[in-house]
């Protein structure tokens, strides 16, 4: 549920500041501290799951995608990319599962 040395658990608990864009009981979204696009938002479950593969709660999985919809609608972002890096080989650096929303510039496809 809460992992002591996890930076995103600390953000979820308000122990480390973040620029919040969305919050409810289970989910928090905040601005990425090192944005890779003009809009770069991270969405996390407040509960600690290391990777997407570890999330065993299908309702929560749906709610995370609904948060993407709500946030992008609220910010009137029509064109965006959602990314989940699962594992270090895929670029995951913070091992508290999160979704990225990237927008505001042309995004290459396929990604690097
Ligand atoms: P990933 O590579 O998918 O694990 O993404 C981790 C993301 O977390 C990176 O884009 C970082 O810039 C971002 N990040 C790390 N620490 C913080 C923080 N304290 N506040 C906001 N974003 C952060
Ligand atoms: Zn965590």
pTM beyond cutoff 0.75: yes
Residue 8 has pLDDT above 90, yes or no: yes
Work out the mean pLDDT of the chain and round it to a whole number: 97
SS3 state at 56:
coil
- Residue 84 Cα to ligand 2 midpoint, Å, equals 15
In a domain, 71, yes or no: yes
Q: Is residue 19 part of a domain?
A: yes
**pLDDT grade, residue 1 (50/70/90)?**
confident
Find the ligand nearest to 8 CA.
Answer: 2
Is 4 close to ligand 1, i.e. is its CB under 6 Å away? no
Residue 43's CATH number: 3.30.428.10
**pLDDT class of 111 with cuts at 50, 70, 90:** confident
> Which two structure tokens, joined as six digits, stand for 66?
């609904």
Q: Is 48 a catalytic residue?
A: no
Identify any residues that bridge with 28 across adjacent strands, giving them in sequence order: 23, 44
Write down the residue that tokens 């929560």 correspond to. Answer: 60
Domain-embedded: residue 109: no
Quick one: pLDDT band at residue 112, thresholds 50, 70, 90? confident
Number of domains in the chain: 1
Domain presence at residue 53 = yes
Q: What would the pLDDT profile of 19-62 be if each residue is shown by its tens digit?
A: 999 999 999 999 999 999 999 999 999 999 999 999 999 999 99
Query: What integer is the mean pLDDT of 55-74?
Result: 98
74 domain residue, yes or no = yes
Domain assignment present for 108: no
| CA 21 and chain centroid, separation | 11
Of 52, 48, 30, give the one whose Cα is nearest residue 39: 30
Does a structural domain hold residue 111? no
Boundaries of domain holding 33: 7-103
């Amino acid at each position: 549920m809460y992992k002591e040395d996890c930076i995103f658990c600390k953000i979820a608990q308000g122990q480390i500041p973040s620029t919040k864009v969305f919050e409810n009981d289970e989910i928090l979204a905040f601005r990425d501290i090192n944005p890779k696009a003009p809009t770069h938002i991270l969405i996390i479950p407040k509960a600690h799951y290391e990777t997407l593969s570890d999330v065993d709660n299908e309702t929560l999985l749906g709610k995370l995608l609904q948060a993407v919809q709500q946030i992008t609608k609220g910010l009137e972002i029509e064109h965006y990319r959602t990314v989940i890096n699962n594992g270090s080989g895929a670029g995951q650096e913070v091992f508290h599962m999160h979704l990225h929303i990237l927008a505001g510039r042309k995004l290459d496809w396929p990604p690097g």
